[in-house]
Each structure stands twice: as C-alpha cells, then as structure tokens.
Structure 1
Amino acid sequence: MSDPTPPPARDPVRVGIDVGGTFTDAVAVSATTYALLGQVKVPTSHDHADGVADGIMTALERLLDDIGVSADDVGFLAHGTTQATNALLEGDVATIGIVGVGTGFDALANRRLRSLGKLRLDSGHALPVRYAALREPESSEAALASVDAVIAEGAEVIVAVEPFSVDDPRGERAVLEAAASRHLPATATHEITQLYGLGKRARTAALNAGVMPRMLLTADLVESSILRAGVSAPLMVMRCDGGVMSLPEMRHRPLLTVLSGPAAGVAGALMGEKVSEGVFLETGGTSTDISVIRRGRVQIRHTELGGKETYLSALDVRTVGIGGGSLIRISGTGPAGASLIDVGPRSAHISGLPYACFAEPAELEGARLVTIRPLEGDPADYAVLESDGGRFALTVTCAANAAGLVPEGDYARAESATARTALEPLAEALGTDVEGAARQVLHRATDRVSEVVDALVDDYGLDRDVCSMVGGGGGAATVTPYLGERMRLNARIAAHSEVISPLGVALALVRESVERIIPGATHADVLAVRAEAEQAVLDQGADPSAIEVDVTVDPQRNLVTAVATGATELRTKDRSSVAGEAATRAAVAASLDARPEELTEYAATDQYRVLGLVRRPGGPFGRFGRERTHVRVVDSEGVVRLHSSDAEVDTLVAGQAEGGLKDLVAERTVYGDGGAVPPAVWLLLGPKLADLSGVMDSGHLLALAATEIARRGPEEKVVVLMERRR
C-alpha cells in the first residue's frame, strides 16, 4: 500500500539566462530565499541552426541537471540577450519599408522621413529604408498598394507613420492590416510611444522594425525549445530599463531589449544587493558600465541610437574604457627612467596576451619590461612583460592583486606573490616599490571612473551620507575597492559578482512605462495613465497585490509618466531572514552616522519601520538653522529603503486617511514666486512603499493617494512621510 502522505513541496526556482557575445550564463535562484542555487556557462551558439536558442537550452538543461530539479520546478524563467544591440552595432538590420500616411501638410512632413535612410548606425552602415506614401488610408486597396510598393523594393518589415497618430491611429492601423495580409511583420509609431514629435517617433519605430524579424525568429525558437523542455512558466525577456516583459510584448517591441545587458546588472544590484541609494559599476575585461540607483529606483532617460535621440527609455548608463584587462602605458622602460602615461583603452584581450598575474611563477623568471603596439595605429607605449616563457600583459587586475585589494575566492583573484612579481619590473622602471607602482596604476585607471561617478552623484542629487558603491562583473574587485577608498564612499563587491547579470534577470520584476503629453492634465487624466501602466503589467502576468506604480507629472513639458512594476507571483521571503532589533537599529545608525541609542522610532508597519533623529545644520551658523528630522525607512530585512534629511511622519488609518492626508498636504504646502509647492509624499501601505514624490500638483497627488489607499482595509495603518521640497 502506497504512503498517502504527499512528498514535501519543492520551493519554486527562478532561472535567469544572460546571452552574451561570447558566453551564455545561466543561474538558478530560490524563489523563497533568493539564494543562488547553481550557475553554468556555455558558449553562445551564434552559428547554430537555431541561433542563440540552442545555447539557451543547453545552459538551461545543464543548470537544472546540476541542481537536481525538474522543469516542473521552474516557476519563473527569463533571459536577456544582446542580439538587438549587436544588430544595431553591426548594421545587421532588416530592410525597412516606411509607409507615410496623410495628405497636404502631413504628406509634406512624411516626405522628410526618407532621410531616415541617412541614419548611420554605429557600424557606419546606413539604415536601409524604403518609402511609399498612402494618401487614402480609408481605402484598403490603397493601403495594400503602398505596402506592396515597399515590398517590391525589398522591404522585409513595415513601419506605419502618421503625423498625429497618437490622437487618431486609424491610418496607421490600415497599414498594419495591409502588412498582415502580406504576412509581413509590422509596427506603427503609435504602438511605440504616445509622445508627439514625428521625427523622433518615426526614428524609434524604424529602429524597432529593423531588429524585429531577427528577434521574432529567435523568440519563436526559444519558446519552442522551452516548451519541449517541459517548462510551463511563461518566458520573460529582459528590458533595457531594468525590468522584464512577456514574450508577446517583446515580439511587439523588440527594441526594448537594446542595451538590456547593463540593465540586468543593475537589476541584480537592486534586487539581490538591496541597494536603495548608490552607484553600480559593472566591470568586465575592457570597460566599466556605471549607473545609478536613487531612492530604490533605477534612473532612466531617453537614449541615443545612431547618434540621434529616440523615445527608447533605457537605463542611464555611462561607459568608461577601463576594465580588469586594461593595459598600462608608460614612457620609457629603463630603471627609474619611466613614467606612467595612462591606463587603457586597449586591453589584454585586444592584444591577445594572457594576464601576467595568472602566469605560472616560472614563466615570469627573468621577465623584462618592453612596450608594444596592440593594434596598427596604436601608440607603441603599452607595457608588457617578456621572458623565456612568452609575453604577458600588465593589467589593472595585476595591480589590484599586487595591492592586496582582491578578496579571497573572487573571480579576479590571483596569487599575491605572482602579482607582485609581475609588477616588479614596472616598479623598478617607475622608481618605486611594488605597492607604489600598483597604486599609481589603480589611481590612474580610476581617474575617469571617479569623474563619471562624481557627475552622476551630482546629476541625480544622491545623498553621499547614504550612497554606496557596488561592484559587479568579473572585474569588480579590480576597480570598485580602490575607487571606494579613493572617493570615501562605502564600497563593496556584489555577492556572485561574476554572474550579476543573469542574477538580475532571474530576480527582475515585470515593468512597463507609459508616457503621455497631456496639456492641462486633469486628475482623471493622471489616473488614466496610472491605470494603463498597471494594466500593462497585469496583462504580462504580474500579481495584482504586488504592483507598484510611480507617477511623475512634469507641468513644464505637460508630460505624465507612470512606471509600473510587479512580480509574476507574490514572492514571500523566508521569514528566517528578518532582521532583529539590534541589526535594524545598527543599519539605520550607520546611515545617519549616529549611535543606535540616539534613534527615535516614528512609525512602524508589519513590513517597515521609520527611525531617525532631529538635528540642526552643521557649520558655524548651524545654531541659527531650523531643526530637521532625518528619517530612514527600513524594511524587515534591515535594508534602508528610503531616506530623508527633512521629513515629517504621520500615521493614519485607511478609512480616514484621505481627509487626513488632504489636511496634512494643505498644512505643509509652501508658497513662493512659483506658486504653491506641496511636499514630496511617500506612503507605506502593507508591503508597498508608494512613491508620490514626482507629483507637484496637490490635486493630482491626492487623487493618486486615494487610489492607493482605497485598496487597503479601513482599519489598516497608513504611514505618511512628507519632505519639504528645496
């Protein structure tokens, strides 16, 4: 007789796969504890009949076999890919047939779209554009004739363009229907963005179309492979703004996968490292990508492609040509007769040389310092070691290991003695010791990185008191520790930094951004944009109880933006990870540079606590300044999620919160030359931290707050934080 007791349920597994140019990395993460369960690396299968899909499947099968789970245990599966990025970089895009809809002035405006054929991609290739006009969109025969005209010229994908389609898209829809009848992929500008600006809108749609055929083929191959493997979880794809989207949405807007590589790393820092305010550096062998997390949010901007601005909202990432493999440049090679010129931009990978610090000690015996020209046209001042064992590159990784800054077990770790041996000829040439030479190299290598970090901190107004610096990527330990020391910022290397990108893919939330130009937007308009963003992530499988929507209203540009994020399932973290009282107070005290016993608790919910203290401004005139309440919102894991240096905290109950909030906003609104300025507002409601700080109109603010509060029980606690705007 069989045992009636069912076997214990397995924790669901979240799988993230990052398809790089050379390797495909896959990780498995526990959906309960977020702990890394396993990781694999396989070559990216560019040349396989199934393209990169074969590498994805190989990585998935090997990963599940390694950790001993079945396809049924996978509750979430997402992948990031560089395919769209590479297509634009290499000029490997489809021929685009633009159908311009309209008569009169609209037709004249559309005619200028032919100039999109002059847009140069990073490869130097021009965007392949064919053009036809449609003057009678109400005629299906005319629409079909226009589509056929560009097909006859070689178009492989169609773009429908009409000057004011954001208001009335019927003309563009006629073109889409005609393209569908010819079984050709197509996109329309009103599907890409609802913002005005014909040129920028058409440019974004054309780039989206250019990568569409290749991405559709890949999506089909990956989806069929996943189904054959028995994975029932919906397949998600990494976006360029740090979230993921469903496969149907990716088919619709494949351009959103462009630049998703850096976004995956930031998602790993945000979700895995719990960064709420800081700078994330992802360091590879040749370069470092630098981006910002402010108040728990990644920072996004419209990006440039082909040297022109688009409506693609992507992570604001700055790239510096310094990585773990960057080579050292010197003047001269004689004892004490050389000086350090620069570090990079060429790397060991470009020169085809192994890192000196990873050589066998015997290979470095009798090594002498020489200079080379890595590529034709480069200066011949790149320093390498030459010995009977061959040539070896002197790199930033060598310097970091020689300086003792790479921790035990790190991906970039080398034997300290070998690294120091490698730097001895350089130290002799520079007239210093090994430690001095290593630090000279690291200081010069981080010059440009520190400039970019400083600019980002200033641009986004990061609070240096709580700002952290987190390093990811295989070369994280070669740049981040020294840079943090140099800039006096709290720096750390992310756990499993070498797989931070696939980790970010595995942990990322479903995300959607909706932008609308609405002159004189009413409360109903703002709420409608919010609802549209929320519905978009609901449609992609987000759990309705876990969706957060941040709304920003820019009255100068008449721009309303809503960004919705949510998990595909409600992830309840293992309660064993809950921080105790001492750990919570220690985390807050550290961020305030105070003692734990100095802190006051201003409010608390089941998920959050609000702690802080009152201070006057420092400096010689501080005693004349106004006292300010400095607060930190800390979650149940002891992570500071929100900070303010001038806040007021109130606790209400949901059933009476609308009226109470209205009174508080009125009381704390200040008046100046620019009119009424309400406070920045955040709400703690159950598991949500609702950010309303981007709304400057008190009416809009209260309408959005009412939407959030209406979803809570009447007796449920609502904590309100208000910050005076400066």
Structure 2
Amino acid sequence: MNTHRIRVGIDVGGTFTDAVAVDATTLRLLGQVKVPTSHHHEDGVAHGIVEALDRLLEQTGHAPKDVAFLAHGTTQATNALLEGDVATVGLIGVGSGPSAGFTRRLAAFRKLELTPGKRLPLAYAHVADPDDAPAVRAAVDAVVQGGAQVVVASQPFSVDRPEGEDTVVAAAKERGLPTTAAHEITSLYGLHKRTRTAVVNAAILPRMLATADLVDASITKAGVTAPLMVMRCDGGVMSLDEMRRRPLLTVLSGPAAGVAGALMQERVSEGLFLETGGTSTDISVVRRGKVAVRHATILGKTSYLSALDVRTVGVGGGSMVRIGGGKVTGVGPRSAHIAGLPYACYATLDDLRDAKVSTIRPMDDDPADYAVIDAAGGRFAITMTCAANALGRVPEGDFAHCDPAVAQAAIAPLAAALGTDVATAAAQLLDAGTDQVKTVVDAMIRDYRLDKDTAVLVGGGGGAASVTPHLAAVTGQEGRIARHNEVISPIGVALALIREQVERIIPGAGQEQILAVRAEAEAAVVAQGAAADGVEVEVTVDPQTSTVRAVATGATELRTQDRAHR
C-alpha cells in the first residue's frame, strides 16, 4: 500500500506527451512515461493526457486519490496561432466624443496576419453609451451576424473605469458567448496594445475552453480529486478557471516548463539553460536564481504578455549535416525526424556496411546539400547526436547514448568525403551546429550583463548531450547536463509554483497604492490554491514609466515544506 502523495507533471508536445510522478515530500522522481500526443483523437490532446496519467499511476503503484497536485503544460495555444486555427472575434468598442475615434480605429485589427495570407477574422461594432441597453444588445447582435464566436469589449481608460466594458461583457454572456474584457487581460494603459492582447486572447479562447473542459472531465472521471493546474509562459502555474479567462498566458509556455525544472532541480543561480530537442534548442537566462522575463512578441508585435525571454535556434540532436566543396558548410535547420530518416548512430555495424555519402534535398524546397549515408541497411541521416557520440561527449546512461563504435562507423564515410579523420569530421559537424547556438548565448550574456566566467551552461531535453558539452568545451565555460534531462519539462510542470503578476501605472505612487497592488497579487495566488503563509511577493516600481509591478508566487500546500532549503 502506497501512502506517499505524488505530484504529477504532464508536458504535451507536438509529437509526444511526457508525464512524470514526483514524491510530494522528497521531490524524488518516481516514474516517467511517454505516449504519442493524440492530436487526431475525438477528445484531442485530452486523450493522451489521461492515457499518460493511467500508465504513470500503474507504473508507480499509486491510486488516483494519491495525486496531490496535477499540472500540464501545452503548446496548443502557440500552435493555434502559428497555424491560424482561431475563432472569429467580435470586438465591441465603447466610447463617445473624442475617444470614440481612437476606439473605432481598433477595427483595423482584422488586418493582423496570423500566417502568410491568413488574417485574424474579426467583426467590429461600436457603442457610444454603455448604459444604453438596446444599443449594447444591437452591437452584440451585429458582431454575431458577422460570425463572432467570442466577444471582446474595449474602452479607453477601462483600467481605471471598467464599468463600460463590464456592461458589454454581461450582455454578450446573456447570449451564451465566451467573453473577454480588455482590462481583465492587463491593467496597463495603452488602448491599442491592451486591446490587441485581449483580441489575440479571445481568438484562441473557444478552442482552449473545449480542451480544458475535456481534460477536466477526463481527469475527474479517472478519480483524481486534486485541482488541475496549467503551465504559464512565465514559469508558474495557474488554475483551470484562470486559464479559461486568460488562455493567452499559456502561449510560449512550452519552454517555460524546462526552465522551471532546471531551477527547481539544478539550483542554477547564474547562467543559461539550453533545452535541446530533436529539431531546435530553446535558450533562456537565469540571473540571481530567477528566470529573465520580458513582454512577449506575438504575431510580430509586442504585447502586454509577460513571458520568459526564450530564444530558439534551429539546431537540435537530430539536425542533419550539410556539405559542399569538401567541407562542412552547416547543420540544420532540417532534422532527421522531418526528413523521415533514422539516425546513423542508432543503426548496427552490419547496417552500416559499404556506406557511401551522398547529398539529398530532404523536403522539396530544401537545398540539395544535406549529407546522408547509403549503406547495406538503407539510408541514414548524419546528425549532431551521431557526432557527439563519436567524440564521447554523450555520457553513458544518457537518453541519447549509443555504442561509440557504431557512432564512429557512422561518421567514417563523412570523414572520407571530407578527406580527414573521424574525430576531426565529428568536431567540424558539432562546431557548425554549436556556432549558431553560441551566437545567441553570447548575445544573451551581453543583454543581461552576465559574467561569462561564472555563467554556467545547463543542458536539458532529450538532445542535451548533442549541444551543451561541446559548446562548453569550445567556450571554456562550465557546462553540465541536467539530471533526468529527457523529462526536465514535465518535472518543471510537476514542481512549478502558482504565480500571478499585477501591473498598474500609478504616477507618483505612494506606499498605500503600492501595498494595494501587492495585496491584489497575493490574493490572486491564494484564490488559486496557494498556501497563504507561504506566498512571496516581489514588488518593483519603475519611476521612468510609473509602473508598479507585483509578482506573487505561492506553493500549493505540499510544496511549502521544501521551501526552507530552497
């Protein structure tokens, strides 16, 4: 009989859904599972989440009632925007007199480009006086006739006077429509930017609501009583109710989970976290034990969405080598997965008999300089992982480790084509890949004024060993691979803290006003299930912009005991 409670973290990726169980008291990793992400199932990704949870409980011998905390991170909001799979937004502008002109200009958001050639579907209506109930109803009718599936209300200065937006939202709710008021998304001034952030939030709202309801229902049916939490893009988690209100906070949350895992588990205080998958590497900065956050750029414009400053490079463990003129000319962005080819280093020596190098065009519009091996066992890709294994950079027991003799046999035909030895060819391949990563790492060290001599490079993700050890060797910086690197993202989700940020623009803010902002942030995390006595609030006042920002973080009850030694 298992008495220990567990924390479960689930990370829904494009290809796989990973889940981990962590002991709620000792935070030790107890089990991990990987299932294919169920995009095409009638329940969508919810099906994969429940399947992963079932397998995890079976593997660790726990019952659903042992789950004390359950959170999931998802790329769904990001993918919806990238693929242009959004709902038609009904934007209702409120205002009379001079301000009406500013509000009417918001109709131009229908020109926002989601993907090349696809614009944001938007219907606009205007209300001069929000107290004129028939006029408000007529505006709601007008946007519904324009195809609106979700309604946004926006009014100048609604941060200070939200009543007008609230009235419109109430009328739309009566019609059974999902709604968003611009002042609920952010409390910063700037009508245009605030409304744009709210409109993008609304565009993904119906799809996110459908998934949230499915996941919630499936988990309740599975017998889990712990409230379901969702990963935010700033590295914290929020309750499902909060996600229903502001799904935009889950955009860009994919990379946030890995950094959260590195912070909790690796205790990085100053350095860079490099999360490497098969195709790309996400790079983020840790300063004084905190992750660097900035306002995110969405659809090419800055928003009022605070997200981790994560920069992505198209180099990963599966990135293929490119050659020309007898030398390595580059690595990536095409990876073996997308080209549909197996990695040469995971073949057998027998498969690699009579190997010859040729060059191909993996996809129709790719250049024809990607090197592959044609051998007795078929065609194989020569990847960053092959080179790292050939040079002995992948530790034994690592997710990406293979037989060094096979890795060397995989690089040998490339070395012959380049007229050099295996070690040199492998080093040239890794140099070409890590150079692209180094450019971004150097820029972030400069941007955040890190001390290059003390900044440590920590690698996470299944492909960590193909980038971080070689980059550390080339730059002379300290580098290491995180423990359980292949499941660092779901670990980050399992260990994440509830987080809430409140921003206000208050010229010449006095102590009373600053304390009010602080109290609001604290109340928000407690409302989402944080233990009141463990909430920490960090308040910053920027005199140049008059911005008062309070960031509250709180542990769900079972995380409070481990804060003492953090």
Q: TM-score range by the shorter chain?
A: over 0.9
Shift of residue 84, structure 1, vs aligned partner: 0.8
- Work out whether residues 546 and 570 of structure 1, in 8 Å CA contact, stay in contact via their aligned partners in 2: no
User: Over aligned residues, Cα RMSD in angstroms?
Assistant: 1.4
- Work out whether residues 137 and 143 of structure 1, in 8 Å CA contact, stay in contact via their aligned partners in 2: yes
Among residues 180, 184, 202, which one is paired with 2:195 in the alignment? Answer: 202
Among residues 355, 359, 383, which one is paired with 2:371 in the alignment? Answer: 383
- Work out whether residues 121 and 305 of structure 1, in 8 Å CA contact, stay in contact via their aligned partners in 2: no
Other-structure match for 2:544: 556
User: C-alpha distance in 2, partners of 1:124/1:33?
Assistant: 52
Task: Indicate yes or no: 2:127 matched with 1:153.
Answer: no
Other-structure match for 2:280: 287
After superposition, the Cα gap between the structure-2 partners of 1:123 and 1:297, relative to the gap in structure 1 and judged at 3 Å, is: farther
Where do 1:131-530 residues align within 5 Å? Answer: 131-332=124-325, 338-530=326-518
Shift of residue 540, structure 1, vs aligned partner: 0.6
1:617-638 CA deviation, whole Å, 9 max, x = no partner? xxxxxxxxxxxxxxxxxxx47x
Which secondary structure does the structure 2 equivalent of 1:345 belong to?
strand
User: C-alpha distance in 2, partners of 1:424/1:459?
Assistant: 40
Other-structure match for 1:77: 70
User: C-alpha distance in 1, partners of 2:385/2:546?
Assistant: 49
Task: Indicate yes or no: 2:116 matched with 1:128.
Answer: no
Identity value in percent: 65
1:275-333 CA deviation, whole Å, 9 max, x = no partner? 1211001101111000011111111111111111111111100000100111111114x
TM-score between the two structures when normalised by the length of structure 2: 0.98
Task: Indicate yes or no: 2:54 matched with 1:66.
Answer: no
User: C-alpha distance in 1, partners of 2:294/2:505?
Assistant: 16
Shift of residue 572, structure 1, vs aligned partner: 5.6
User: C-alpha distance in 2, partners of 1:294/1:190?
Assistant: 31
- Work out whether residues 77 and 204 of structure 2, in 8 Å CA contact, stay in contact via their aligned partners in 1: yes
Code of the aligned partner of 2:350: A
Count residues in correspondence: 566
Other-structure match for 1:646: none
- Work out whether residues 32 and 572 of structure 1, in 8 Å CA contact, stay in contact via their aligned partners in 2: no
- Work out whether residues 250 and 256 of structure 1, in 8 Å CA contact, stay in contact via their aligned partners in 2: yes
- Work out whether residues 91 and 123 of structure 1, in 8 Å CA contact, stay in contact via their aligned partners in 2: no
Larger relative contact order (Cα-Cα within 8 Å, sequence gap ≥ 6)? 2
- Work out whether residues 25 and 558 of structure 2, in 8 Å CA contact, stay in contact via their aligned partners in 1: no
Shift of residue 81, structure 1, vs aligned partner: 1.0
- Higher Rg: 1
- Work out whether residues 24 and 558 of structure 2, in 8 Å CA contact, stay in contact via their aligned partners in 1: no
Q: Can you give the 5+ residue segments of structure 2 that lack an aligned partner in the other structure? A: none
1:47-81 CA deviation, whole Å, 9 max, x = no partner? 22222111111111111011001111111000111
Other-structure match for 2:81: 88
Where do 1:98-117 residues align within 5 Å? Answer: 98-117=91-110
User: C-alpha distance in 1, partners of 2:49/2:28?
Assistant: 22
Where in structure 1 do 4 or more consecutive aligned residues deviate above 3 Å? 463-466
Shift of residue 350, structure 1, vs aligned partner: 2.1
Shift of residue 82, structure 1, vs aligned partner: 1.2
Code of the aligned partner of 2:39: H
Shift of residue 112, structure 1, vs aligned partner: 1.1
Shift of residue 573, structure 1, vs aligned partner: 5.5
- Work out whether residues 348 and 393 of structure 1, in 8 Å CA contact, stay in contact via their aligned partners in 2: yes
Other-structure match for 1:661: none
Shift of residue 487, structure 1, vs aligned partner: 1.8
Where do 1:37-76 residues align within 5 Å? Answer: 37-76=30-69
Code of the aligned partner of 1:128: P
Shift of residue 570, structure 1, vs aligned partner: 4.6
User: C-alpha distance in 2, partners of 1:111/1:176?
Assistant: 18
User: C-alpha distance in 2, partners of 1:76/1:123?
Assistant: 41
User: C-alpha distance in 2, partners of 1:238/1:552?
Assistant: 24
- Work out whether residues 14 and 37 of structure 2, in 8 Å CA contact, stay in contact via their aligned partners in 1: yes
Code of the aligned partner of 1:283: T
Code of the aligned partner of 1:528: A
Code of the aligned partner of 1:180: K
Q: Can you give the 5+ residue segments of structure 1 that lack an aligned partner in the other structure? A: 1-6, 333-337, 575-605, 608-635, 638-726
